[in-house]
Amino acid sequence: MAESTSPFPYLEAVVGFMLVMYVFETYLDIRQHAALKLSSLPAPLKGVVSQEKFEKARAYSLEKSQFHFVHAAVSIVEEAAILLLGLLPWLWLKTEVFLGQLGLDSQNEILHTLMFLGATTLWSQVIELPFALYSTFVIEARHGFNKQTIWLFFRDMLMGLGLMVAVGPPIVAAIIIIVQKGGPYLALYLWAFMLVLSLVLMALYPVLIAPLFNKFTPLPEGELRGKIEQLASSLKFPLKKLFVIDGSTRSSHSNAYMYGFYNSKRIVLYDTLISQCKNEDEVVAVIAHELGHWKLSHTTYSFLAMQVLTLLQFGGYTFVRNSSDLFRSFGFTSKPVLIGLILFQHTIMPLQHLVSFCLNLVSRAFEFQADAFARKLGYAVPLRAGLIKLQEENLSAMNTDPWYSAYHYSHPPLVERLQALDMATKKSE
């Protein structure tokens, strides 16, 4: 008589991997914290960044690092406890009972899933709220970045929850129906749905959602607008609108981005970016870098890569969605669609970490390429000045541990970007 094989211990494997990654990432955090404590600028930045700005950036980075240690420790304890104590299956059963008490159909998987999601979202908001408040109104305020009031903070939070309530249910319902009726082509159907959804949200977000949180105004006529339009025209970038966003109502941090489809593109500048740069050429150099991403098809490559990864994930999900061992390992006696997706995401965490690391490598390569693109357009000097200025004004870390930055950073550290620019400039002379 053949011996029965024991089911794979999914729960123990997932929690074990989470703990291993926590230890590894904490080790990297300790290395980074040691780098942040260095009392002198890295050699390439000496004489470039003022000592006053360096000390401010050092103090800001160290405080954020200390805060991160606490946040990460609380998060790993919470995540491990939720899984080991069986809180997910417990909550699934409790929400089923609650639906019945409300006189609703507790066997309706869509209603049950929405109730479960509502409870988990409320829980995560409660847990994260103290950290968000401390980060915004203590750390960011202490270092001169926070500009929002407590009212604006809670308004943004409630509006975000309101959008989740408005947009989430139909998306969740659609996913459940697709899984229930998908058949052998389930992975393709799920991927196609998510593709269409992402395209719709990309089109609607800047038009309907972003204006709920920020005010977009056309960049006034003047030298800066003229230079940006001239640059866009020279690259055949289909610029339709050029906006300034009131980022200063919430933070002193600065940014710029592009969005839009095909022949209708828009560029958005944070008002803080304009005020922090010394002159128009520095702002234009930053835009030249962003246009480099477009001209070199970085956005397209990234989008296609995400589509391939999404399809592969859904393909993997189809192999385990009916696995009794997987659900039982986490304490579930039924096989709800959403729960299956959540458990599958837990089981592929090792692959997700590897993919994330690889994507960061590609992203850093793209950043160097975009810098080189701006340099070839003749913006080497203002881009260099702009990068330094933004690093100073945002109090970004000047000293970084190479292991930490290699693992975490999607953008190369300032020192590496300046060295690449200087080296390329010398070669071209």
pLDDT tens sequence across 157-198: 999 999 999 999 999 999 999 999 988 899 999 999 999 999
Instruction: Please report which confidence band the pLDDT of residue 3 belongs to, taking 50, 70 and 90 as the band edges.
Output: very low
Partner residues linked to 256 by β-bridges: 269
pLDDT confidence of residue 403: 94
Q: What does the pLDDT average to over 230-238? A: 91
The packing angle between helices 186-204 and 298-320, to 10°, is 140
Instruction: Please report which confidence band the pLDDT of residue 6 belongs to, taking 50, 70 and 90 as the band edges.
Output: low
Higher pLDDT, 311 or 389: 311
pLDDT confidence of residue 328: 94
**What does the pLDDT look like over 346-389, one tens digit per residue?**
999 999 999 999 999 999 999 999 999 999 999 999 999 989 88
Residue 396 is encoded by which pair of tokens? 């970004």
Contact 247, 140 (CB under 8 A): no
Q: Is 236 left (phi over 0), alpha (psi -120 to 50) or beta?
A: left
What is the Cα–Cα distance from 356 to 75, expressed in whole angstroms?
A: 20
pLDDT confidence of residue 429: 62
- Within the chain, how many helices (H) and strands (E) appear? 18, 4
Which of 306, 312, 317 is CA-nearest to residue 347? 317
Task: Write down the catalytic residue from 109, 367, 371, 393.
Answer: 371
Mean of the per-residue pLDDT values for the chain? 90
pLDDT confidence of residue 249: 79
Task: Write down the catalytic residue from 109, 140, 281, 290.
Answer: 290
End-to-end C-alpha distance for the chain, whole angstroms: 80
**HSE-up (13 A, CA, CB side) for residue 305:** 13
What is the Cα–Cα distance from 415 to 404, expressed in whole angstroms?
A: 15
Known catalytic residue at 223: no
pLDDT confidence of residue 2: 46
The percentage of the chain sitting over the pLDDT mark of 70, rounded to a whole number, equals 98
Higher pLDDT, 15 or 214: 15
- CB-count burial class (<10 Å; 0-12, 13-18, 19+) for 58: buried
Known catalytic residue at 371: yes
**What does the pLDDT look like over 273-306, one tens digit per residue?**
888 777 889 999 999 999 999 999 998 999 999 9
pLDDT confidence of residue 1: 41
Higher pLDDT, 426 or 413: 413
Q: What does the pLDDT average to over 257-263? A: 76
Instruction: Please report which confidence band the pLDDT of residue 255 belongs to, taking 50, 70 and 90 as the band edges.
Output: confident
What is the Cα–Cα distance from 50 to 54, expressed in whole angstroms?
A: 6
- Check pLDDT > 90 for residue 74: yes
Q: Is 240 left (phi over 0), alpha (psi -120 to 50) or beta?
A: alpha
Beta-carbon count within 10 A of 63 CB:
17
Which of 386, 371, 422, 370 is CA-nearest to residue 279? 386
